[in-house]
Amino acid sequence: MKKLCYGVLTLLILVGSAYAVAAGPGPGGPGGPGPEGMLNRLLSLKLTEAQKHDVAVVLKENRQAFRAAAKAMFEAFDAMREVMRADPGNEQQVRQASQKIAAAGEELAVLRGKVEARALAVLTPEQRKAWAEDDVPPPPKNKERFHAGHELVNEWIDAHAGAGN
C-alpha cells in the first residue's frame, strides 16, 4: 500500500511537473519555445538576408547560454525526481528542489526575453506587428495531456477512496 501511495504521489508530481514545464518558460513552454521556435517564427516573417545575418549572430552569441540554461532546467527536474524517490515526505528537500526548478525556469525565461528583444530589434515595424499578431498560445496538446492525467488520478482516487471532495 505504501508503494502504491508513493506511486500515486509520484504520478501527481510528474503530471504537475509536466504541466509546469509546459506552463513555464523555455523550450515548449508558455514562456515560449526556445531558440528553434523563435527562429521558425522569425523566418515566417520573410527576413532579408541582412536580417537573417543579424538574427543568426544574436542566436549564435547566446547558443551556449541556452544550452547551459536548458541543462540547468533538466538537472533541476532530475534532482526533484531523486528527492521524490528517496524521501518524498521531506518537505524541506522537496521545497529546495522546487526552488531550483523555479530558478532554472526563471533564468531560461529571462534569457529568452533578452534574446527575443535583440532579435526583434532588427525587424521592420511591419514585421514586429506581424510578430505580435502571430503570437499564438502553445498547442493545447500539453494542456490536454495534463488534464487527462489529472482526470485519471481523480478517477482512481474516487474508485478507491469513494466519490466526493
Query: Which domains are seen in the chain, by residue range?
Result: 34-144 (1.20.120.1490)
SS3 content of the chain, % helix, strand, coil (to 5): 80, 0, 20
Three-state secondary structure of 8-61:
HHHHHHHHHHHHHHHHCCCCCECCECCHHHHHHHHHCCCCCHHHHHHHHHHHHH
| Residue found under cell 521556435 | 37
pLDDT at 137: 58
pLDDT in tens, 81-112: 999 999 999 999 999 999 999 999 999 999 99
Q: Does pTM surpass 0.85?
A: no
Q: What is the C-alpha separation between 40 and 42, in angstroms, rounded?
A: 5
**66 SS3 class:** helix
